[in-house]
Amino acid sequence: MQPKANWAYCASAGSGEGRDERLDLLRGFCLLKMVLSHLWPQPVDLQIAFGFVSAAEGFFLISGATTGIVFGRRAERAGFAFASRGLARRGVQLYLLNLGLVFCFFAAETTRILQYSQIRHPGFSAGELFDLNQPYFLQVLPRYAVYLALAPLALACLRSGRTALLVAGSLGLWTLVLAQGGALAIPYLENGPNGGFLLLSWQLLFYGGMALGFHRDRVGRIWRTLSVGTTVVLPGALFLLFVGLGVANSSGRLGWPVSLVAQLFGRDQLAPGRLLDLACAALLFFALVDRWFVPIRRTAGWLLLPFGRSALYLFLAHTVTYGFFLSLAPWLPFALHGHPFRLALAGGLHLALLWALARWTPGRRWLAL
């Protein structure tokens, strides 16, 4: 079924340095799913609904694309040196903010202000504070900071016509991790408990996305030549297959050895099956948002767009608000666990607080990308 002509995305809907609101909607959805999965146990399992893919993969891919769009245009307008300094500064800023939160949470647990020790890694100690595998759901941001700090090299390749070199190098590092059995960690950076995001594997999503974003116009021209079967039917069918496999694996009915499932769909090394699952999901969801952009924006844009435009800021903020809710839990007059309605109410209040923070202009501009 063809969407109405005025429902499709129009390039004029972009905002601020050529931002693509389709990407902002999708990144907002990824952030929403990440926040919900980090809350206390949910009445509905939100993980297996997407097969073997988590929202983190989409977050890295879309964030890389946004970086390629924003800083590619910034380099054209103000020069490569200006854009490179902005990328490096943003990476350092994000890492320091992330590290500050780790210190705060560690101090809160040490002094028993925050008593829910299960939110940190077992055996975590002060000596591991500078490890990228940090606790409190903060394993994503330090890796993002490293990718941002190295992004000027990627931007230089993209601007000099060496996109193939960038993609080949990124694929080479990912393949190297697979060749090492999916356990190739960076010394001194990934020494602590496994955070589920190997630096050399997940860079493929960020820099691959950065290449797509930088060449958005060329990619867009190719996209418009593709048929519905290529962008919706085929990836949709494969995506449903992955969802079925994920449900069967979660329930124990798949019957595959654990080692085989890890080899095909492992998260740490971004295994090939997981990457294919992500590609199908990305094609399908982008096609749906592209074709039905106007009604999706009208119905869900009020929530997803603020989340997508301020994703880094809100990801940092949600660790603070989550800790705040946990610190209140012992004094609440009722228990949350085992009560779906109370869980849903508490989750709704948490999301409302994050939405208010997303609308707060100083905070939104403080770490917007």
In this predicted model, what pLDDT tens digit does every residue of 101-141 receive, in sequence order?
777 777 777 776 665 544 554 455 655 666 787 766 677 88
Average pLDDT, the chain: 83
Asked if 285 and 53 count as a contact pair (C-beta separation under 8 A), the reply is: no
Asked if 177 and 201 count as a contact pair (C-beta separation under 8 A), the reply is: yes
- What confidence score (pLDDT) does residue 118 get? 45
Q: How far apart are CA 65 and CA 20, in angstroms?
A: 10
In this predicted model, what pLDDT tens digit does every residue of 323-344 receive, in sequence order?
776 666 655 555 555 566 666 6
- pLDDT above 90 (res 292): yes
SS3 344: helix
Asked if 63 and 27 count as a contact pair (C-beta separation under 8 A), the reply is: yes
Q: How far apart are CA 22 and CA 292, in angstroms?
A: 10
**Model confidence, pTM:** 0.89
Between 55-64, 185-194, 211-220, 285-294, the lowest mean confidence (pLDDT) is in 185-194
Domain that holds residue 336: 5-366
In this predicted model, what pLDDT tens digit does every residue of 132-165 receive, in sequence order?
877 666 778 888 999 999 999 999 999 999 999 9
For residues 285-298, average pLDDT: 94
- What confidence score (pLDDT) does residue 43 get? 46
Looking at the structure of the chain, the number of domains it has is 1
- What confidence score (pLDDT) does residue 197 get? 86
